[in-house]
Structure 1
Amino acid sequence: MTYTDALIPVPVGPLQVGAAADSSAPLIQFSLIVPTYNESKNVAKIVKQLTELLDDCLPGDYELILVDDNSPDKTWQIAQALTPHYPQLRVMRRETERGLSSAVIRGWQVARGNILGVIDADLQHPPEILIQLLKQIQNGADLAVASRHVEGGGVSEWSFIRRFLSRGAQVLGLLIVPNVVGRVSDPMSGYFMVHRSAIAGPCLNPMGYKILLEVIGRGRVETIGEVGYVFQEREEGESKVTWQHYLTYLGHLVRLRSRGRIARLRRQFPVGRFLRFGIVGLSGVFVDMAVLYLLSDPSTLGWGLTRSKIVAAEIAILNNFLWNDAWTFADIAQAQKGWNARIKRFLKFNTICLAGLVLNVLLLNFLFNVVFGQQHRYLANLIAIAVVTLWNFWVNFKLSWRVTQIKK
């Protein structure tokens, strides 16, 4: 049995990546981990595609490490049978541990490369994006992430529910650990590569299958590059994403937050865009105030305060969206032409702002009824608007102008 067709012994102990590869074999530039579970129908295809791609750009200077969690469909066995034909392929069979994140780290622990990567085996991650990710690392990035939410990115066929859950998970992350989740446009991505030096040393403790959060939160990641990619639908096999994964993801966010190992936010704050957003928001204040006066003042219609506020805020939201779409985020909107794309942007913008409206209404009533008294309704309204402004900017900046649906 040769070096290439033997199963790799599974490391034991803490999930900790060494500063240098612990191997008698020569060091290489790139190690790509392919975690698998019941991927027998896809494994030959993904190995073939990856090998053809990497043989061209890194001949003899890479390895593929397939880490299988003892799949009932014998994925590991099929992969092992491929090793005589693919000298760069190595296979690990884990019989006692489970989980995508820990599988990736176990693979990194035996890897010989200075650059460590991960890609799914289900063919939903286009292999050709690896070349662009490698260029990001070679140009100085500590971490290169394939993102569905930057230029060139998208998803092929996602239901409304799946989109909603994905966006909701990202918003939760922004609220709980903003200095981790806010550093990348697609924190749910499972397709990335990282320089070994950026994660060597710390004991990693991931939960579920979103290992990127752990890499950013506990690693020494200074510079991050992002590359757009289109997330494909499965050709073979079944999706492994369940409700339990979303609950585990939430637990992971809480763990990162509670332990305080949050990487510092070093992305440049978008000052120019924020100022434009603020100017637009100011115009919305005048719209909001004017409509609130017309609806609620005793000398006009005399509606109740809460009902008047809801109508006034919705009209102000429409005003703000039109100006933001035409000015604040014009560069992004121009790349997403058509009424369908504009309507989707508005619905997301409106949903985020309506969440802010709930906070706004609660705060307004508190200030109006408890703090200032009924003689200062407009001051209370102005303060409520100011408090919600940061929410609206931050979440809209991250989500609203990131339309990802594409044509098949």
Structure 2
Amino acid sequence: MSNKLTPVPIGSFQINEILSNEEPSIRFSLIVPTYNESKNLAKLVEILTELLNNYFYGEYELIIVDDDSPDSTWQVGLDLMPDYPQLRVIRRQQEKGLSTAVIRGWQASQGEILGVIDGDLQHPPETLIQMLEAIDKGADLAVASRHVEGGGVSDWGFIRRFLSRGAQILGLLILPNVIGRVSDPMSGYFIVRRSAIANCAMNPLGYKILIEVLGRGNIGSVMEVGYVFQERQEGESKVTWRQYVDYILHLLRLRSRGRITKLREKFRTPIKRFLSFGLVGLSGVFLDMTILYLLSDEYTLHWGLTRSKIIASEIAIINNFLWNDLWTFRDFSSQQTGWGKRMKRFLKFNLICLVGIGLNLIILNTLYNYFHVNKYIANLIAIAIVTIWNFWFNLKLSWRVTQTK
């Protein structure tokens, strides 16, 4: 293979189908977007090549797409090419950004299966094999997730965890049918069939390329593989506030263009788990109604409706959490044993339900004070509506906690 740079694709961000059958058969194209990763690149290429040689026996390509790094990461890639025949290097000098780098790499590729992995060794390369096996089993998209069994983060502080979860909640509110399809929509580590995104007009923004693929591609089956996000070994982190701003703008862009209607599979509520959640909720309703009566009725303590409702709801929340942790979400909680982790789940459950209480109070007071509905009937209506809120967000967040040493 020539020790030369691969030309940068130009024009729109649309990925074509494989155009020529005369090209050597390439089953997998893995893109590594880089910026100032010269210290990590040699080790990463060595590990990836060893893994992929054993899996594809040479029928793959590894494409470095570098955004003209000041530390000459692209030159390090060129120097490695004589020792790694499957390695190609693209140096971009006119464009910037991780998402567009990935798409340009896919446009220059010939693989039937396309993938992306960070160049900083924070994505464990070994997880590639599990994702490739998921594709072999029929998945259109295989995502490495921090929020399923076997996943986690090695050393994240409270603020970073909070921002990550907050971004996920926002995504669920703006694009539920896109963000809700995976447990880790912020992941930048995944594999997709070329046919699932070929000829789809892409319009990426920022770093979250997975959202673009889910929102604009023709993605059918999705499978997730757990991985532990590693701390950077060399170089500096590129996480900035700008990424969060771009993420929000990206969500709004996808929403406004209506691309989610292209999804083949619409969101399906996990019925069995919801029924369990609902039965637990009934026990909470009994407690809630009983305590509300004891506190607010004119023949008992006769406290104010709002204060009585807050107390009744919090007792019901504690009851519901304990039963959901032991039954509804037992498959998740059994992987996260210990009082510390249980307390974290309870705090998240409580926070989500507190928002639900706010919604409940608005609905209850509106029905009771403005439409003169019986306060107990109004309370039942409010509980029914808020139950859907509580189930959806608790499924996606409270019992997706992962923590590793």
TM-score between both structures, scaled by the size of structure 1: 0.96
Shift of 1:296: 1.6
Q: 3-state SS of the aligned residue for 1:12? A: coil
Rounded to whole Å, the distance in 2 between the matches of 1:10 and 1:52 is 27
Paired AA for residue 74 in structure 1: S
Rounded to whole Å, the distance in 2 between the matches of 1:228 and 1:366 is 44
User: In structure 2, which of residues 86, 89, 95 is the aligned counterpart of residue 88 of structure 1?
Assistant: 86
| Counterpart for residue 230 of structure 2 | 232
The one-character-per-residue Cα deviations of 1:258-297 (angstroms, maximum 9, x if unpaired) are 1111124456532111111001111111111111112222
Rounded to whole Å, the distance in 2 between the matches of 1:168 and 1:250 is 11
The one-character-per-residue Cα deviations of 1:347-376 (angstroms, maximum 9, x if unpaired) are 111111111111111222222211126xx2
Rounded to whole Å, the distance in 2 between the matches of 1:118 and 1:176 is 25
Rounded to whole Å, the distance in 2 between the matches of 1:372 and 1:20 is 65
- Tell me if the contact between 2:216 and 2:259 (Cα under 8 Å) persists in the aligned partners: yes
User: In structure 2, which of residues 201, 210, 213 is the aligned counterpart of residue 212 of structure 1?
Assistant: 210
Shift of 1:405: 0.8
Rounded to whole Å, the distance in 2 between the matches of 1:203 and 1:169 is 25
Paired AA for residue 197 in structure 2: I
Worse-matched range after superposition: 331-340 or 270-279: 331-340
Shift of 1:331: 2.2
| Counterpart for residue 270 of structure 1 | 270
The one-character-per-residue Cα deviations of 1:81-123 (angstroms, maximum 9, x if unpaired) are 1111111110000001010000000000010110000000010
Rounded to whole Å, the distance in 1 between the matches of 2:264 and 2:176 is 10
Paired AA for residue 94 in structure 2: T
Across the aligned residues of Structure 1 and Structure 2, the Cα RMSD in angstroms comes to 1.4
- Tell me if the contact between 1:143 and 1:193 (Cα under 8 Å) persists in the aligned partners: yes
Q: 3-state SS of the aligned residue for 1:79? A: helix
The one-character-per-residue Cα deviations of 1:217-239 (angstroms, maximum 9, x if unpaired) are 11111111111101111111111
Worse-matched range after superposition: 209-218 or 361-370: 361-370
TM-score between both structures, scaled by the size of structure 2: 0.97
| Counterpart for residue 241 of structure 2 | 243
Q: Count residues in correspondence.
A: 403
Matches within 5 A, 1:59-208: 59-208=57-206
Rounded to whole Å, the distance in 2 between the matches of 1:23 and 1:347 is 56
Worse-matched range after superposition: 295-304 or 173-182: 295-304
Distance 1:143 1:84, change over 3 A: same
Rounded to whole Å, the distance in 2 between the matches of 1:73 and 1:308 is 63
Rounded to whole Å, the distance in 1 between the matches of 2:199 and 2:315 is 53
- Tell me if the contact between 1:119 and 1:190 (Cα under 8 Å) persists in the aligned partners: yes
Q: 3-state SS of the aligned residue for 2:202? A: coil
- Tell me if the contact between 1:10 and 1:94 (Cα under 8 Å) persists in the aligned partners: yes
1:317 matched to 2:317: yes
Once the two structures are aligned, what percentage of the paired residues are identical?
67
Shift of 1:21: 4.8
Rounded to whole Å, the distance in 1 between the matches of 2:19 and 2:230 is 33
Give unmatched runs, 5+ long, in structure 1: none
1:36 matched to 2:34: yes
Rounded to whole Å, the distance in 2 between the matches of 1:68 and 1:343 is 43
- Tell me if the contact between 1:146 and 1:226 (Cα under 8 Å) persists in the aligned partners: yes
Shift of 1:40: 1.3
The one-character-per-residue Cα deviations of 1:183-224 (angstroms, maximum 9, x if unpaired) are 111111100010100000011011111011111111111111
Shift of 1:335: 2.1
Rounded to whole Å, the distance in 1 between the matches of 2:118 and 2:382 is 45
Shift of 1:257: 1.2
Give unmatched runs, 5+ long, in structure 2: none
